């Protein structure tokens, strides 16, 4: 029987084909500046024509680095997270890294599996938007010594590096905008209390209501899960229970779109009958037929800063500097209010 195993092209094979030493071939394939452009191009073309595949595992064993960064997120189907992944990948690519993207479905057990999977693949660092039902997974991650940065969410303790947006100010700006539009019954669809951004956005809502001397009605504070579809069920229940409101502050843009869809199905017009504000400004990258008023947080700035911090940690493992950074938010007014 013939041997069906694939024979890999080696540096020695390329060396014999081109007449250059193995060391020169190796450096040319790594784009080293001490090899002339003409020689690099010749060697790289020859390697490509011969079907050479770089053995990244062997390289990582020699260097101790896989040049891979894990990105662990709650729901990659949310365009907000998709934009973040794109921005992170764009930033790390400039430094010669590739990404490993893992979805947790906002589930703590899946988050633990994701962390272990990333560690098992010997990634150089991790950018993670934590589930936050407990701090256990992040404490475990810290004990491993692998560099990591929290993105979009934070814990009360300050010994974890994080990059977040100013969620409190975002909740405040959204609510203040609606109050200035003379809405008095403002429904807020907030995420679960264990999520830091949900708590902070609610704090901003309460601050704006207090500033305008408006009574806080607990009926108008409704918790929704962060999984797609939950906000539709909540808004249906609120309507069925006859709770009166003229405006909605949604936890994120996807929830805002679900609210608008449900309201339209029930015969309400946005913004004529009910105004809606979202959070994340995904319409900065995607174009929808109905423009949504929202709170913008610079996803490119957040992503780039998270990468910068992570690379500092990777390149200087003895550093004890902790980065706790907050990126500003702003109100973007469109047709839904």
pLDDT of residue 4: 46
Q: Does residue 42 lie within any of the structural domains? A: yes
Q: What percent of the chain has pLDDT over 70?
A: 95
- Burial code of 168-201, b = ≥16 C-beta within 10 A, e = fewer? bbbbbbbbbbbbeeebeebbbbbbeeebbbbbbb
Residue 31's pLDDT is what? 84
The CA distances from residue 184 to 181, 209, 224, 248, 251, in Å, are 9, 9, 22, 11, 19
Identify the pLDDT of residue 40: 92
| Per-residue burial over 138-165, b = 16 or more CB atoms within 10 Å of its CB, e = otherwise | beebeeeebbbbbbbbbbeeeebbbbbb
Contacts of 129 (CB under 8 A, 6+ apart): 72, 73, 74, 81, 150, 151, 152, 153
Asked whether residue 59 is assigned to any structural domain, the reply reads no
Strands (E), the chain: 68-73, 98-103, 125-128, 148-151, 162-165, 186-190, 221-223, 247-250, 275-279, 293-297, 324-327, 329-332
> 181, 275 in Cβ contact below 8 A?
yes
Asked if 176 and 267 sit in the same domain, the reply is yes
Read off the pTM: 0.83
One domain, residues 158 and 176: no
Q: What is the pLDDT of residue 58?
A: 53
Do 255 and 318 fall within a single domain? no
Residue 215 and residue 183 share a domain:
yes
CB 264 within 8 A of CB 253: no
pLDDT digits over 110-148, tens only? 999 999 999 999 899 999 999 999 999 999 999 999 999
| pLDDT number for residue 1 | 43
Amino acid 215: pLDDT? 94
Residues 215 and 98 in one domain: no
Q: Which domain holds residue 140?
A: 66-165+299-327
Tokens of 221: 């504070």
Burial per residue of 66-88, b for 16 or more beta-carbon CB atoms within 10 angstroms, e otherwise: bebbbbbbbbbebbbbbbbbebb
The position carrying tokens 């449900």 is 262
Q: Which CATH number belongs to the domain containing residue 88 in this structure?
A: 3.40.50.2300
Quick one: which of 314, 313, 299, 310 has its CA closest to 86? 299
CA within 13 Å, CB half, 121: 19
Q: What confidence score (pLDDT) does residue 62 get?
A: 52
- The answer to whether 164 and 199 have CB atoms below 8 angstroms apart is no
Residues 159 and 224 in one domain: no
Q: Do 173 and 255 belong to one domain?
A: yes
For 59-83, write each residue's pLDDT tens digit. 554 555 789 999 999 988 889 999 9
Counting as low any pLDDT under 50, the low residues of the chain are 1-4, 61
DSSP letter, residue 30:
T
Q: Are 87 and 95 in contact (CB under 8 A)?
A: no
Number of domains, the chain:
3
Residue 234 CA, distance from chain mean position: 25
């Amino acid at each position: 029987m013939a041997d069906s195993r694939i024979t890999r092209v080696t540096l020695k094979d390329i060396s014999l084909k081109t007449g250059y030493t193995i060391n020169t071939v190796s450096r040319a394939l790594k784009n080293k500046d001490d090899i002339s452009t003409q020689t690099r191009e010749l060697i790289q073309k020859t390697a490509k024509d011969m079907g050479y595949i770089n053995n990244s595992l062997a390289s990582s064993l020699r260097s101790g680095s896989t040049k891979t960064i894990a990105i662990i997120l709650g729901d990659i189907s949310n365009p907000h997270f998709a934009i973040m992944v794109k921005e992170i990948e764009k930033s790390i690519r400039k430094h010669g890294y590739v990404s490993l993207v893992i979805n947790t479905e906002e589930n703590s057990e899946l988050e633990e599996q994701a962390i272990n999977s990333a560690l098992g693949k010997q990634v150089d660092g991790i950018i993670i938007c934590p589930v936050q039902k407990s701090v256990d997974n992040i404490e475990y991650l810290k004990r491993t010594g692998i560099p990591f940065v929290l993105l979009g969410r934070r814990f009360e303790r300050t010994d974890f590096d994080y990059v977040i947006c100013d969620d409190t100010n975002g909740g405040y700006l959204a609510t203040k905008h609606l109050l200035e539009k003379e809405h008095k019954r403002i429904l807020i669809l907030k995420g679960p209390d264990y999520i830091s951004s949900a708590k902070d956005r609610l704090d901003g809502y309460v601050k704006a209501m207090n500033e305008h001397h408006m009574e806080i009605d607990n009926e108008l504070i409704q918790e929704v899960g962060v999984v797609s579809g939950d906000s539709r069920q909540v808004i249906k229940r609120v309507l069925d229970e006859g709770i009166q409101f003229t405006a909605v502050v949604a936890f994120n843009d996807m929830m805002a779109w679900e609210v608008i869809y449900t309201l339209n199905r029930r015969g309400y017009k946005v913004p004529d009958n009910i105004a809606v504000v979202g959070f994340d400004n995904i319409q900065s990258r995607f174009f929808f037929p109905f423009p949504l008023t929202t709170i913008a947080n610079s996803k490119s700035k957040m992503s780039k800063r998270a990468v910068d911090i992570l690379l500092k940690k990777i390149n200087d493992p003895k550093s004890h500097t902790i980065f706790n950074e907050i990126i500003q938010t702003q109100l973007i007014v469109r047709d839904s209010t």
